[in-house]
Amino acid sequence: MLTRRALLALAPAALALRPSVAAPAQRVVSVGGSLTEVVYALGAEASLVGVDSTSVYPAIARSLPDVGYMRTLSTEGLLALAPTLILATEDAGPPAVLRQLELAKVPLHILRSEHRFEGLLARIDRVGELLGRTTQARALVERLCAEWASSQQRVQQLSQASKPPRVLFVLAHSLAQLRIAGEGTAADAMLGYAGVRNALSGVSGYKQLTPEAAIAAAPDVILTTSEGLQAAGGIAPLLQAPGLAMTPAGRARRVVAFDALALLGFGPRLPQLLPKLAESLHQA
């Protein structure tokens, strides 16, 4: 008969022979296009079981189940995917749905959607922690920081070569829904990073476009999204909007457009986009 001491001695060997049980795979729903980009950039896309309608990059993300627009989520739609983790930004809602998810004991992590490069790095670190990808997150942050430094050098060169233009950002869902971006917006932050001046100064948030506002702003360049330009029907119809044709940008037809998520999402493509944006605005 084995003694107690002998049994204790054999225990480690017995444990080593036991088959290892893999931890259950995560079932992640990502609410926010920039967060979905981060998940893919970390190589954790296999954990995704659903995304919201703003998650359009990379294109393969569109093949995942769609839980709807980030501001009008449905509790039933989210829970139907049996998520073990939901990633979202502060823009997610409505609040009632978020409360219901908390009551359902679904781990819900709300990340700040601040419009700064440092905010992007913080989101990458946090997503890396939540998905068990801290090593990949660290490598991604290091790469983006190197790209960011190079991008800022290019912006500085452009700013020194010519007077920074006045740029008006126009958010266009259709010609009937045009708004312009003031301070405290993602567009304003991007204009600052690109080394240009926001033509809509002294105004916070997004405001409806009016002839008076457009003429007073007197932009040298109009910036919009590629999706907005398409919704408006092109440059010519856009410039027929109230007051835009009477601005320096309108008269010279200086209109620049970029992909909405890349331009306003503050995701991993930000460092690569910045020099392209700055060159387009400075050289328009």
- The CATH number covering residue 76 comes to 3.40.50.1980
98 lies in the same domain as 207 = no
Residue 193 in any domain: the answer is yes
Among 113, 143, 176, the domain-final residue is 113
Residues 207 and 276 in one domain: yes
Please give the Cα distance from 125 to 113 (Å, whole number): 14
Specify whether 265 is located in the same domain as 201.
yes
- Reported as a single tens digit per residue, the pLDDT across 127-145 is 999 999 999 999 999 999 9
Whether 27 shows a pLDDT value over 70: the answer reads yes
Q: 170 with 246, same domain?
A: yes
Q: How many CB atoms lie within 10 A of CB 270?
A: 23
261 and 167 part of one domain: yes
Question: Do 169 and 229 belong to one domain?
Answer: yes
Instruction: Yes or no: say if 165 and 196 are a contact pair by the CB < 8 Å rule.
Output: yes
How many helical (H) and strand (E) elements, i.e. helices and strands, does the chain have?
A: 13, 10
Check residue 177 and give its pLDDT: 82
Percent above pLDDT 90 for the chain: 86
d(Cα 227, Cα 173) in Å, to the nearest integer?
8
What's the rounded Cα separation, in Å, for the pair 271 and 82? 35
Is residue 10 situated within a structural domain? Answer: no
257 touches 276 (CB < 8 A) = no
Judge whether residue 275 has pLDDT over 80: yes
Q: 157: buried, middle or exposed (CB in 10 Å: 19+, 13-18, 0-12)? A: middle
pTM strictly above 0.95? no
Distance CA(236)–CA(156), nearest Å, equals 32
Rg value, the chain, Cα: 24
Residue 108 amino acid letter: L
Domain extent, residue 273, equals 163-282
Tell me the pairing of strands 48-51 and 108-111.
unpaired
DSSP code of residue 241: S
What confidence tens digit (pLDDT) does each residue in 223-273 have?
999 999 999 999 999 999 989 999 999 999 999 999 999 999 999 999 999
Q: Residue 256: what are its φ and ψ, rounded to 5°? A: -120, 140
Nearest one of 128, 86, 83, 132 to 108, comparing CA atoms: 86
> What would the two tokens of residue 254 be?
């200086």
User: Residue 208: what are its φ and ψ, rounded to 5°?
Assistant: -65, 140
Listed in sequence order, the residues at least 6 apart from 206 whose beta carbon sits closer than 8 Å to its beta carbon are: 171, 179, 180, 181, 182, 185
Residue 70 has pLDDT above 60, yes or no: yes
Domain count, the chain: 2
Looking at 113, 148, 183, which one is the last position of a domain?
A: 113
Cβ contacts of residue 246 below 8 Å, gap of 6+?
A: 211, 214, 215
